[in-house]
Amino acid sequence: MTKTKKIQICVAGATGWAGSELCRGIVLTEDLELVSAVSRTNANKDLNVLLNLSQDNNIPVFGTIEEALAVPCDVLVDYTKPDIAKHQVITAIHKGVNVVVGTSGLSDADYQEIGSIAEQKQQSVLAVGNFAISVVLLNKFAEMAAGYMPQWEIIDYASDRKIDSPSGSALELANRLSKVRESVKTIPVEETKGIKETRGADINGMQVHAVRLPGFIISLETIFGMTDEKLIIKHEAGGSAKPYVQGALLAIRKVDSFTGLKRGLDSVMDFNSQI
């Protein structure tokens, strides 16, 4: 019986909070193989040793994406920072490697450029603001609500140490809701009396607010309002990165099922099969 070839993976940001948990999940999964990693602070080390993984063979850690992609792989998972993620994603596309983006903070313009290059090179990029299944459902429910309730605002909560604002999850949600409709504003923000910035940032026609304080991990909330009623849809995460592993593994398996750019984990999920 012929063995099915494992999907070979490089993880950039492999020793970080989310990346390290994903690496542990990959080595425990039969159809996936972790072949290399990127971590500037741990270059030239063995990821097996760094993370105490159960994989038998050496998993080399490189300081740059160019070095890491010299090891053949099928998928790059980028869990880094927005100031380097775009370069790494585009480098992978040019190398003929599909990409799953878990990095927060890339803009719509960044994704427009990435999508264009992916189409030209006939590669695939799946950008996921948040891999948690509860966030996938929040996005779906919010899109449904926006079709019936014309006014809403988004609140993005995170630790005081989170460098990007708003989060990738909030940007992704704003992008998706903008395709349903623009949120109605009874009083346009430019007509607000006082300090207009307190109304939040206008992103794709809706107000988005970011809270950065100790005590928060990651939370995302959409508040819909109509006369004498409101709907609040909220996701809250705990202190570990475990909620993001299964979604990331699904993204890795599905990223070669299309060409170009897709945004959101639900774009490769079949919800009808669950009904």
For the chain, the structural domain boundaries read: 7-131+241-274, 133-236
CA–CA dist 257, 262 (Å, integer):
11
Read off the pLDDT of each residue in 176-187 and give the average, rounded to a whole number.
Answer: 94
Q: Tokens at residue 160, please?
A: 């005081």
Q: What is the pTM of this model?
A: 0.79
Query: DSSP characters for 78-119?
Result: E-S-HHHHHHHHHHHHHTT-EEEE--S---HHHHHHHHHHHH
Q: Which of 127, 100, 138, 102 is nearest to 237 (CA)?
A: 138
Looking at CATH, the fold of the domain delimited by 133-236 is given as: Dihydrodipicolinate Reductase; domain 2 (3.30.360)
Q: Tokens at residue 206, please?
A: 């809706």
Local structure of 155: helix, strand or coil: strand
CB-based contact 132:247 (threshold 8 Å): yes
CA–CA dist 222, 139 (Å, integer):
9
- As to burial, measured by CB atoms within 10 angstroms (0-12 exposed, 13-18 middle, 19+ buried), residue 139 is buried
3-state helix, strand, coil in the chain (%, to 5): 40, 25, 35
Confidence of residue 3 (pLDDT cuts 50, 70, 90): low
CB-based contact 265:136 (threshold 8 Å): yes
Evaluate whether 7-131+241-274 and 133-236 have a shared fold: no
Confidence of residue 5 (pLDDT cuts 50, 70, 90): confident
> Which class does domain 7-131+241-274 fall in?
alpha beta
pLDDT 10s digits, 78-115: 999 988 999 999 999 999 999 999 998 888 899 999 99
pLDDT 10s digits, 152-171: 999 999 999 998 899 888 99
